[in-house]
Amino acid sequence: MADGPDRWHQWLLNVRFGGDAASREKQLRTFLYPVRDTVLDKAQLGPGDTLLDIGTGDGLIAFGALERLGSSGRVIFSDISQDLLDHCRQAATAEGLLDRCRFVLAPADALASVADESVDVVTTRSVLIYVADKAAALREFYRVLKPAGRASLFEPINAAMSPLDPDFFAGYDVTPVRALADKVEALYESIQPRGKDPMGDFDERDLVRHALEAGFAEVNLELRVSVKNHKEPARWEQFLSTSGNPLIPTFGAAIDAALSPREAAEFAGHLRPLVESGTGRERMALAYLTAVKDAPPGARA
């Protein structure tokens, strides 16, 4: 048995924010809650709907859906992390919502325990970036949806942004210490090869193609791109305790593994003032995809 929560639980609830509670609250307020609300707005929930939240994580979208669906609506929490499902079950119990919830341990591309045409809505938030066979996942989404069911997905499009700042590391200009940054980036590249790893092997056009090939009758995609010539200032210790996703080491661990103590000190000497002052660049490309499963001819309005 594991000695503690798995990597998905640890990252989503702690490492993502560098263990900083104030940063977590700010990201929830300024980014994650708006994403949740947009996904649910686009899902067009109806009273009594059953919603399947795939890759539910800490239940951000799932609990938001329960609030909107009313007492007759139900939500299926699905994830590959039993620790996160247990976390959501405890939260649902505490809120008196357990009788409207079901919990399924399954990957996005193999939802065998969810019956054909059994849910009205499928939602995801940053899930397909971890799935190698995205086409299979979209086929599963289509399979479990009832006729006229809706999918509402949110995915970062990392391929659109990552190559644009070759002299930047984590959004900070590292030109004076480029050779050291290359060593750290090589470690990350060995874990998640650029263009080959699921995190960055697709763009928004691939999402549309997979949805159409899965059989969806109507597909819409909204791409939101933003570039800011500043970043949120962060404590150095918080930065070192942060990682970009659950499958890679924190910045601190990567620096220690890739650089000698002398090199690490030189790298930190350049990077730390930039991190603490927010002197950097933030690029994001975010896609909201909605898809509708066609209803039989006799059921159409």
Q: What is the mean pLDDT of the chain?
A: 94
Reported as a single tens digit per residue, the pLDDT across 19-29 is 889 999 999 99
The topology under which CATH files domain 7-296 is Rossmann fold (3.40.50)
pLDDT band at 76 (very low <50, low <70, confident <90, very high): very high
Pairing type for strands 74-79 and 50-54 reads: parallel
pLDDT bucket at 1, cuts 50 / 70 / 90: very low
Q: By the 8 A CB rule, do 48 and 72 touch? A: yes
Query: CA-to-CA distance for 301 and 288, rounded, in angstroms?
Result: 26
CA-angle at 300, arms to 204 and 207, nearest 5°: 10
CA 86 to chain CA centroid, Å, is 19
pLDDT given for residue 195 in this prediction: 85
Ordered by start, the domain boundaries in the chain are 7-296
pLDDT reading at 2 higher than 60: no
pLDDT of residue 43: 98
pTM score, two decimals? 0.93
**pLDDT 10s digits, 241-285:** 999 999 999 999 999 999 999 999 999 999 999 999 999 999 999
What Cα–Cα distance (Å) separates residue 243 from each residue in 31, 96, 101, 112? 18, 34, 31, 32
